[in-house]
Structure formats: structure tokens, C-alpha cells
Structure 1
């Protein structure tokens, strides 16, 4: 098998050609990507469920909107916390209950007491479920043109307007990719 170049920490932005309704206009933050597969969370699928309704004490740390997000179609009964810790990330071990994934973005240990991280977290999102791909599956989808791969920014995790994230991420790209942001919701209405 050929070596896989890691896309951990980057965003997958669904192309208009992607036919899977689970990922229509999705923006996925890749938390892990290697030869064994890929795992990420959809950043722009808020649910109506408040964080405190399922994880007592974490709602106060969750960014607006303080709701649970649907991270993807896999393991919807499990929760993942993704948080941003401001700073250079040089001292990864200084923040207990947080493990760096990429830059200032990391995974939050939801078994830890929320007050342990309260002073350190710049933002937090809670995700029910995740998005997963087996070995080579994501690479095949990339070859088919289902996804655009772009750099993430720490603010993507905590966008206060997640319903606009797909367009905003595309709009900040250079060249033709920025034009995709103007793609209509329903091309048949053009």
C-alpha cells in the first residue's frame, strides 16, 4: 500500500457533486488521517439538543450556539469534545483533559471535570457521532471530486453561524474554489 500523506487538522468541504445526504454542504474537520483510515466531525450540523441536557456542566463552556452538533453518521450515541486552547501549543501537557490534534485544536476528555478546562479553553464544541472512512476510502472520494481539502482555522470549530460555514470556508479560498461558494442550494431553480 502506498504511504498516505496525513490530512489531520485540515477541512474536508463537500463539493456540490457529493451525493451523500449525510454530507450535503458539510464541513468536516479531520481529527485523524493515516493509512488505517480517517475520522472527523461535521462542524456545521447543529441539533436542537442543549449540551447540558446530555453532559451536565459542559454547556457553560460550549460556544454559541451551546448545542450538540451531529458529528457524522457513525456512533451517534457517543460524544466527542473538540476544543481550542489559545497559545502556541508548545506545551501540550500543560492543559489537563485536552490532547492536541493540530495547532490549537484538540480533543477534550469529557470524563474530566469541566472546571479543569474552564480557564484554558477558548472554545468548545460537543459532537454526537463522527464521520469515518476505512483505509483508502477517503482517498477514493477525493479522487472522485467529492471533497475539497482546505486549511482549517481555529475559529472554524466554534463558528457562531454554523449554517454559513460551508460558504464562508469556500469564500476565503483563492481562485476558482471561492466561486463554488456561490453555487445555488438548488441548481434546478437557476
Structure 2
């Protein structure tokens, strides 16, 4: 398994008008794609070339210590938390969403001033040496959209969107994140139908 090999050290692209960067995408109840059914996806980047995001509510049957063991990384202690299935694209590669740190990672960029995305293994070594970011989420794989694909899916009423919320991402139990995000819009995701609009 190849992990933590894909990222750019370049700064995040400027927001476009209508960009969903730093937003959650909530799958609508009629979603017929099993890759995204009942998911919350955090959009890391969205520009004229497309969009990239990480699913944040699908824990795998793997925890951080399993990942360290698989990668052969030594660790003093590892905060035991789930590793997430981040999406169907390159799901043999790892991505960490995390709060800012003073350290400069090999492959990382700041999405906002409160959240960064790192894909280099040096951050895992730091986590294993008790130098973990204050908050972090490890995922394998990501979700990707081509140019104008996400815009079309929004028009087709496939997703709800709302501004991202770090408490939901890092502190809310995974099984509650979809409804918690929907609640920020004042809706109950379970009561929506295929006729509902999008935010």
C-alpha cells in the first residue's frame, strides 16, 4: 500500500465566486452512488479545474495503531482513532486533515488559517512521537470532480452544502456528523426527499 505520497506544497488556489472550498457536502437521501451514500465530504479545493474533498464520516475497520504497524513506523504512543475511507480515488494513499502546526511538512498546504491538508509521512512520524497536531483526521483516498462536474451535481440536487464546522469534523462521533452538519442548515437530513432543494 502506497500512502502519503500525493500533495502539493503550493498554497491553496484562491476562492472562486461560488466556490465550495472549506464547505461540507452532504449527500441527499436519494443518492444512488454507494461511494457517497450517507456521506459528509469536506471540500479541500474547488476551482475552475474541478474539486477535491475528503469523506469524514466513514470510519474503516482500521485505527491509527494499525496504520502505523502496516507502515512499519515506530511510535511512542499513538492517539487511537479511526482511519477514514476518504473517497474512491487513490484509496491506497493517505491524507491528513489537521489543525495548523509550527512544523513545515514535506507535502502540505493550508486550506484555511484553521485547517491544513498534509499527505507526507513525516506528519505520521510526528504523531508517533507525541507531536501530533491538536486535531487531526487520517483518511485513505479522496473524492474528486472534474471541471464543472460538482457544479452540475449541485444543480441536479445531488448534494446539500454548508460551511465546514471543525467541531463536527473533529469532535462529533462519525455516525452523527451527517445530521449534525444538516442541522446547521436547520434541516433534518432524514426527512428530506428527492424533491428538496439545496443550500
TM category (shorter chain) comes to: 0.7 to 0.9
Normalising by structure 1, what TM-score? Answer: 0.77
2:189 to 156, 180, 188: 180
Contact 1:83 1:157 in 2 (8 A): no
Secondary structure at 1:29 match in 2 = strand
Matches within 5 A, 1:1-190: 5-55=18-68, 56=73, 57=75, 60-61=78-79, 66-85=81-100, 94-97=102-105, 99-113=109-123, 114-115=125-126, 118-119=130-131, 121-174=133-186, 178-182=187-191
Whether the aligned pair in 2 keeps the contact of 1:38 and 1:133 (CA below 8 Å) is yes
**Distance in 2 between residues matched to 1:169 and 1:157, nearest whole Å:** 9
Secondary structure of the 1:110 match is: coil
Alpha-carbon distance change, 150 to 59 in structure 1, aligned in 2, over 3 angstroms: farther
Aligned length: 169
CA contact 2:89–2:142 (8 Å) conserved in 1: yes
SS class of match (2:57): coil
Name whichever of 163-172 and 4-13 sits farther off: 4-13
> 1:120 offset after TM fit, Å?
6.6
Superposed displacement of residue 121, structure 1: 1.6
Residues 143, 78 of structure 1: alpha-carbon distance in 2 compared, 3 angstrom cutoff: same
Deviations 1:3-61 (A, max 9, x none): 76321111101111221111111100001111111100100000011223223349725
User: Runs ≥4 in structure 1, deviation > 3 angstroms?
Assistant: 55-59, 116-120, 181-184
Q: Report how far residue 127 of structure 1 moved.
A: 0.6
**Structure 1 unaligned blocks of 5 or more:** 86-91, 185-190
Q: Equivalent residue of 2:97, what SS? A: strand
User: When the two structures are superposed, what TM-score results if normalisation uses the length of structure 2?
Assistant: 0.74
* Long gaps (5+) in structure 2: 1-15, 194-199
